[in-house]
Structure 1
Amino acid sequence: MTKNMAFFMKGKVTHEAIQEEVAITKRFLDDKGEPIPFVFTSLPPKRIEELQEDCTRKVSRKGKVVDEVFDAKRLGLRIALESTVYPDFRSPELL
């Protein structure tokens, strides 16, 4: 494999969804006492950009945009929510 930085340039990246099961805590155990794995999926770069935009607020003064405030905590929570397949945190049973 060649070490060519062009592979990482914008527009060259392709997204192939990857799902992975990970037992992240021992708080949730199945009937056999084994940790229940969470299932995560990767998000496409375009979706992450959309979430970043949604978590950025424009600050206006006298009708002019003077600054942008990025809410990193909100972005982290949104990515965690959208990338977690199981358990489905949007399920009415969990709310």
Structure 2
Amino acid sequence: MGLLRTVLIILLIWFGLKILSRLFAPILMKFVAKKAEERFGQQFGNFQNQAQQRHAQKQKEGETVIDKMPKQNKASNEKVGEYIDYEEID
């Protein structure tokens, strides 16, 4: 009798947790997503502010600045191999 009662209690708890997780999982996910969005916004905002401050400090009025290096065109190897002509044998 004790074993059957224990198994029924475990099953009741298992199904109860499944039902509660289906009810509260969307709410929990929204909360976690909102917190992550706030953290990302704060970090991105701080990064933007720092980048603008550094850029303003480095550049003087009327000065031209190039931020990227031009691509270097590498000559491709023309002699990759030789072409071999073949005939199909029936």
- Tell me if TM exceeds 0.5: no
Larger relative contact order (Cα-Cα within 8 Å, sequence gap ≥ 6): 1
Higher strand share: 1
Higher helix share: 2
TM-score (norm 1): 0.23
The structure whose Rg is larger is 2
TM-score (norm 2): 0.24
